[in-house]
Amino acid sequence: MINNERIDHLERLLEVVRGLTTAPDIEAFLQTVISEASEMTDSELASILEYDEVAEELRFLAMQWFQRDMLRPLGVPLEGSAAGWVFKRGQPLIIQDAKADQRHFKVIDRVTRHETSSLAAVPLIVRGEVIGVLETLNKKDNAHYTEEDLTILATLGALAAQAMQNVGLQRKVRIASIELAELERLKTDFIAVTSHELRTPLGLILGHATFLRELAGDQYGEQLNTIIRNATRLKEIVENLSDVDNVQTGAARIRSHQVSLTKVAEDTILTFQDEATARNITLKLDVEGNNPFYVDADGVKISIAVSNLVKNAIQFTDTGGHITVKIMEDSGYLKVSVSDDGIGIPARDLPRVFERFFQVETHLTRRHGGMGLGLSVAKAMIELHGGRIWVESQEGKGSTFIFLLPTTKEQPPVTSISPFLE
Ligand code: ADP
């Protein structure tokens, strides 16, 4: 008989365990816990109390439905209550004669017009921290609560605590992701406003400085060239910022034409050749079969991507280094790689280099210029075309940035001269 009862208890406890994953929500699960707690211990009532850190008291989280409206608004103090006693000590408690016991909090009985004669309570513990209490009241037929009852309550209490902790964690994750989204929005707004507001004054500075240089001749030529060079650099930064913003807000549009990737690479190399030579860096192009490699793409955007990769390669390669831009066909895609034998990227930073504003060097140790935008822009430009970009690198040995673009089926018109022809 005893054995049958134990088997029954075990089966019911197992059913509650299953409820941890199958119950529709925490309320439904805690409801199951208290109804099993009262039935399995032969009690009249059961409830779960949770510690409220702000009010510094216990509050009813789950109770029999007919007590809900009365108990929900009530708080149970930690001093002068059985639940408080259990909570503070983290130990179970049995009170056989509640009326005579000072630890019983009599206010609840008065409000609910219920008379508590006996009670059993266990702490709800998560990783050594007590978060609440599971309590049963009035064992039927004036029977005494037993150790067996406490074991049942402790098992149910452990399950309830687990479920409550899961909900707490989910809440924290939700709050963190809302905060993250807000930060991301601030970042995007900041980019949009900055790039927009800087564009006009910069255009004016450049325009007037260029005009003055022509007027001034040699006298202030060097100073004006410095202004123009630095304003041009600022303009590049602003353009990068607005490229990122356009991609993010969906304002970026692709104006596709037949574009020769070879021509794009040749033009880019021409643009950077002087800078490379000045630093004694060999910059060369290697095109498979001297093919023009046509793609249906927005030439300006592809050119921005290739330029940003070549610019970085020059920046992060020491004098005497080598940079190769390679173009080839690879299983239905055109593959462009920019390799250097420069400083390389530490393995831990590889997954982050395409993030906006990411730089391997911190601001404090920074030796190179830049804003950490070039690669995120390149990535956006390639992905806008349905392509893919990645990097292979070894610290101290060099880096290879590779992107793939889908090839074009049609052949270009014979008259196409420039990759950027509209
Ligand atoms: P930045 O304007 O700072 O160069 P990027 O987005 O273009 O920003 O690059 C992000 C970071 O990735 C760089 O600051 C640098 O630390 C690293 N990086 C990019 N290209 C190379 C490269 N060819 N070799 C070594 N490190 C590189």
- Does the beta carbon of 371 sit less than 6 angstroms from any atom of ligand 1? yes
- Does the beta carbon of 370 sit less than 6 angstroms from any atom of ligand 1? yes
Q: Say how many Å lie between the CA of residue 359 and the centre of ligand 1.
A: 6
- Ligand 1 atom closest to the Cα of residue 338 is 23
Q: How many residues does the chain have?
A: 422
By CB neighbour count within 10 A (0-12 exposed, 13-18 middle, 19+ buried), where does 165 fall?
A: middle
- Ligand 1 atom closest to the Cα of residue 317 is 24
| Cβ atoms within 10 Å, residue 202 | 17
Question: Which pLDDT tens digit goes with each residue over 318-369?
Answer: 999 999 999 999 988 999 999 999 999 999 999 999 998 888 876 555 666 6
The answer to whether 101 and 121 have CB atoms below 8 angstroms apart is no
Query: Cα 223 from chain centroid?
Result: 46
Q: Say how many Å lie between the CA of residue 276 and the centre of ligand 1.
A: 17
| CA-based nearest residue to 126, from 163, 98, 172 | 163
Question: Which pLDDT tens digit goes with each residue over 5-42?
Answer: 888 889 999 999 988 888 888 999 999 999 999 999 99
Q: What is the pLDDT of residue 368?
A: 66
Residue with the larger pLDDT of the pair 118 and 199? 118
**Main-chain phi, psi angles of 396, to 5 degrees:** 85, -15
Amino acid code (one letter) for 370? G
Q: Say how many Å lie between the CA of residue 353 and the centre of ligand 1.
A: 7
The answer to whether 314 and 343 have CB atoms below 8 angstroms apart is no
In the sheet that holds 322-330, the strands lie side by side as 282-287, 322-330, 333-340, 398-406, 388-394
Question: Which pLDDT tens digit goes with each residue over 162-204?
Answer: 999 988 899 999 999 999 999 988 888 888 888 888 888 999 9
CA dist., res. 390 & res. 58, Å (int): 54
CA dist., res. 27 & res. 160, Å (int): 10
**Main-chain phi, psi angles of 418, to 5 degrees:** -100, 145
Residues of the chain above pLDDT 90, percent? 63
- Does the beta carbon of 389 sit less than 6 angstroms from any atom of ligand 1? no
Cα separation values, 286 from 290, 300, 327, 344, Å = 8, 21, 6, 21
- Does the beta carbon of 345 sit less than 6 angstroms from any atom of ligand 1? yes
Q: Say how many Å lie between the CA of residue 395 and the centre of ligand 1.
A: 13
Which element (helix H / strand E) includes 87?
A: helix 82-89
The answer to whether 245 and 283 have CB atoms below 8 angstroms apart is no
Mutate to test the pocket of ligand 1, among 238, 353, 394 (most ligand atoms within 8 A of CB): 353
Long-range contacts of 12-15 (CB under 8 A, 24+ apart): 12/36, 12/39, 12/40, 13/152, 13/155, 13/156
| CA-based nearest residue to 34, from 24, 48, 23, 55 | 48
Q: By three-state DSSP, how is residue 124 classified?
A: strand
Residue with the larger pLDDT of the pair 102 and 97? 97
Query: Cα 163 from chain centroid?
Result: 25
Tokens 């920019």, located at residue: 338
Q: Say how many Å lie between the CA of residue 301 and the centre of ligand 1.
A: 19
3-state helix, strand, coil in the chain (%, to 5): 50, 20, 25
pTM for the model stands at 0.62
Q: What is the pLDDT of residue 412?
A: 47
- Ligand 1 atom closest to the Cα of residue 398 is 24
CA dist., res. 260 & res. 299, Å (int): 8
Q: By three-state DSSP, how is residue 48 classified?
A: strand
